A and B are shown apart, each in its own frame.
Chain A
Amino acid sequence: MTSHSRGRALRPLLSLQARSLIYGLGVRRGRGRARLLGAAALAALLVAVAVAYLWALGSGMVAVGAAGAIPALAALAGSLAAVALVFVKAPGTVFGCRDYDLVAALPVPTRVVVVARTAPLYGFAAALSALMSAALYAAYFSVAPAGPAAVAAAAVLSVLAPLAPAAAATLASLALTSVAVRFRHAGAVQLALSALLVAAVLAGSLALGRASSGVDDAAALAAMGNVAGALSAAVASAYPPAAWAAAAVREGSAAGLLAFAALSLALPALVTLALAACYPSVNAAATSGPRRRARSVATSRGAASPLRALTVKELRRIGSMPFYALNDCAGLLLMVAASVAVSALGVDALLASGVVDGVRLDAQVVAAMRSQVDAALPWVFGFCGAMSLTAGPSVSLEASASWLMLTAPVGAGTVLGSKLLANVALGGVAAAVSAVALLAGGTAPLLALQCFVSAVGMLAGFASLALAIDASRPNLSWTSPAEVVKRGLPVMVGSIGGVLASFGLAFLSVTAAGALGHAASVAVNLAAPAACALGGLAALRAVARRGLPGPGWGE
């Protein structure tokens, strides 16, 4: 096959990938353009925030005299973004694809198929890296000489930086996926590891805040300069290509530029060739199921009520989908982490450290705000509860298995109730653990009760609301769970509404504490979450009365 005909074969395959992406964003037969525009606007906003943050980081490094570390950091930042992207997207895009049989049967060389799958990923990684690096280099060139050679080298390196790490991440992701699909409880392990990572990040942030508390600004800047210097050295030693990139930009090293470019182009090419050479076995490795486990019918468990059986089924779904659990239980992890932090350090110390809101308050100021702090604290837990809505996308997640619930001899109330119950059970456990942690740390029982009620009430209310929306108009034809777990309307409305309501009610509670006294804020903190829960349940009940929708319903 000539290179011309290979190119002709690549074009429709790339077009297929683009169409799959657009379909995944919810665009169906001309409908959903508003959603596409919304997604584009959200992406633009996120990029703007990331660019602004990196510009601030670069400017900060320049201010503390660590501008020299920026080129290496830019290479590393682009690489890390690419690694994260590839880890998330390669399974299902490059290997373990649903349409493997279809594309494998096409009269197209396997290499072209693999390139059609890797090129969009690597291209997106390159674009992401270029955006991130641009902000850092803008800060760098504000103090360093911006000669044409240096700027050109920076531009080339920004685009090339993620390619080699992305290629390596493809192989690492394949290895991990191949192991994970054989391990029955891989999802639970991934969830536990992610929870540990979140806890480590929080602990690190707290430790950093405590270490720098009580130090004046000049000393803090000097400490940051030392950290940046150490970071630069660490980056160069841990990832030598970053040092080559730094040399190419800072010193105009042609050797450094060539070495970096050669590595960045050769490694993806080698990985593509390697994947193409054994594509059938790669896909088989990434899609085979867990090892067989002998389990006879005699081990069938005892009978349970339909509600209990369906609730257990929902909990199993959450446990088996780390992506779903991580997105919709993150608030519960934060809730427990917050309660442990309050218990171990005390609210006053946390606020005084500046870790929570970035504003370091004087201990006396915190003490003077005691009643406002007590009025607002339960809404930290309400906020965490309101963003933990596993029930939100749960009707849509039934997808092609929705016929089971539609034909089951149970009312829609039981089916929807089981989804809510699973959510409330998880939230209730997290809220109970948090309340116990608060009590153990010396928090007053009434305040701990308010925290518990706020968490469970907001969770129940907004989970019911999100579930009611999902049950009214489920998206049963999604192609990726992210469509309903992250971008679905029910989750967006439920969690954003819950978060906004938490802020609003916290403001109301603080205002009530100031104007009417402590008892008024306690009343708000107990009554508002209960009202929220009742409102959500009423909405869910109204939807349950109409029955479960399925394909063809109401048309």
Chain B
Amino acid sequence: MEYVLEVRHFRKSYRDKVAVRDLSLSVAPGEICGFIGHNGAGKTTLIRSVVGAQPPTSGEVRVCGIDVWREPVAAKRRMAYVPDNPDVYDFLTGMQYLDLIADVFGVGEGDRRRRAGELSERLELADALGDAVSGYSHGMRQKLVLVGALLHDPTLLVLDEPFVGLDPSASHELKAILRERAEAGGAVFFSSHVLEVVERLCDTVAVIRRGELVVSGPTDEVRGSESLEDVFLELVDEKDGGAAARRTR
């Protein structure tokens, strides 16, 4: 089977500090994968390398079979990224930003208008698209980046803490959108500290601790009879990582 996202023996170090060591995981078509870990565990480091924003020290990242660091442009065409801090160009209006993203991703005029219209209506952003981004709240920027990320119909959607700053209705709508992406054959890989959401939404889950993957697999298997929160707390509290059942794929 060709995975939508495949990470092999990923390692990233900053000078002497190893942020992530020998991490391998994969996300299949139709899957939503939740990536969880404590602050500073290495989630954002891995995510930034997956989306081509930061090169790994060693290892390989493939999206739809394309090596992100050998064929970056082809790989980036197939995915979209929503960062944890949705900073975009303040000097543009929301619509100008969406036009820019559509042009860069080569989305045609009709498609961009239709998708931007549908998505901005769903996320209740349509009325603000004529306003300058500088006047947007954090949540509005998050919605704008989400609309921009979905404009080119990506196969892989990578999100870093996507629910932070969203109002309840937008958060509900985002969950529905992520599920629709997966059902349409795409894949979603996102990090979150909201374990209840991960537990309910994700088909698979991966837990990282101090730069090492301690467990990954179907959510039901990782959780067992306990809640994901209990499992997570047990895993990250363990001094000896070897005790954790490693179900890496």
Contact = CB atoms under 8 A, between A and B. Distances in A.
Contacts of A301: 99
Given A316-B91, A401-B89, A300 B99 contact: yes
A292 B135 CA distance: 9
Contact of B109 (A300, A312, A411, A553): A300
B54 to A, nearest CB: 4
Interface stretch (A14-22, A245-253, A276-284, A302-310): A302-310
Given A306-B103, A309-B104, A295 B54 contact: no
A297 interface: yes
A316 B76 contact: no
B77 interface: yes
Interface in A267-301: 288-290, 292-301
B113 to A, nearest CB: 5
Contacts of A107: none
A313 interface: yes
Contacts of B236: none
B130 A293 contact: yes
B218 interface: no
B88 A404 contact: yes
A306 B100 CA distance: 8
Given A289-B132, A299-B95, A407-B51, A309 B15 contact: no
Interface in B79-116: 81, 83, 85, 87-93, 95-96, 98-100, 102-109, 112-113, 116
B92 to A, nearest CB: 6
Interface in A147-197: 184
B135 A290 contact: yes
B76 A408 contact: yes
B95 A289 contact: no
B106 to A, nearest CB: 7
A309 B81 contact: no
Contacts of A184: 132
Contact of B52 (A300, A400, A406): A406
A401 B97 CA distance: 12
Contacts of A550: 48, 53-54
Given A297-B116, A411-B73, A290 B131 contact: yes
Contact of A410 (B48, B104, B107): B104
Given A403-B81, A406-B52, A552-B54, A303 B108 contact: yes
Given A306-B103, A321-B91, A409-B77, A403 B53 contact: yes
B109 A302 contact: yes
- Chain A contact residues, majority secondary structure: loop
Nearest to A552: B54
Contact of B103 (A288, A305, A317, A400): A305
Contact of A309 (B45, B74, B103): B103
A551 interface: yes
Contacts of B12: 552
B241 interface: no
B32 to A, nearest CB: 20
Contacts of B74: 409
Given A290-B135, A313-B89, A300 B98 contact: yes
Interface residues of B, number: 53
Nearest to B69: A547
A407 B135 contact: no
A426 to B, nearest CB: 16
Nearest to B77: A409
Number of contact residues on A: which range applies?
A: 35 or more
A295 B95 contact: yes
Nearest to B17: A555
A409 B104 contact: yes
A409 B131 contact: no
A408 B113 contact: no
Given A305-B103, A403-B81, A317 B89 contact: yes
Given A409-B104, A550-B53, A297 B91 contact: no
A400 to B, nearest CB: 4
B37 to A, nearest CB: 18
Most chain B beta-carbon neighbours within 10 Å: one of A184, A298, A300: A300
A299 B94 CA distance: 12
A327 interface: no
A499 to B, nearest CB: 29
A494 B107 CA distance: 37
A371 interface: no
Contacts of A292: 128, 130-131
Contacts of A299: 95
Contact of A293 (B76, B106, B131): B131
A479 interface: no
Interface in B220-245: none
B80 to A, nearest CB: 8
B104 A288 contact: no
A360 B54 CA distance: 59
Given A300-B95, A553-B54, A553-B55, A308 B131 contact: no
A320 interface: yes
Most buried by B among A288, A297, A302, A303: A297
B87 A303 contact: no
B95 A297 contact: yes
Interface string A471-485: 000000000000000
Contacts of B131: 289-290, 292-293
Nearest to B19: A552
B185 interface: no
22 contacts: A289-B131, A290-B131, A292-B128, A293-B130, A300-B109, A303-B106, A303-B108, A313-B89, A320-B90, A321-B91, A399-B87, A403-B48, A403-B51, A403-B81, A406-B51, A406-B52, A407-B81, A408-B76, A410-B104, A547-B72, A550-B53, A552-B14
Interface of A: 184, 288-290, 292-306, 308-310, 312-313, 316-317, 319-321, 399-401, 403-404, 406-411, 547, 550-553, 555
What are the nearest 10 A-B pairs in CB distance?
A289-B135, A295-B130, A309-B103, A320-B91, A409-B76, A400-B87, A406-B53, A409-B77, A552-B54, A297-B117
Given A289-B134, A294-B127, A297-B117, 12 more contacts: A293-B130, A299-B95, A300-B95, A300-B113, A313-B92, A320-B91, A400-B85, A401-B89, A406-B54, A407-B52, A407-B53, A409-B76
Interface of B: 12-15, 45, 48, 51-55, 72-74, 76-77, 81, 83, 85, 87-93, 95-96, 98-100, 102-109, 112-113, 116-117, 120, 126-132, 134-135
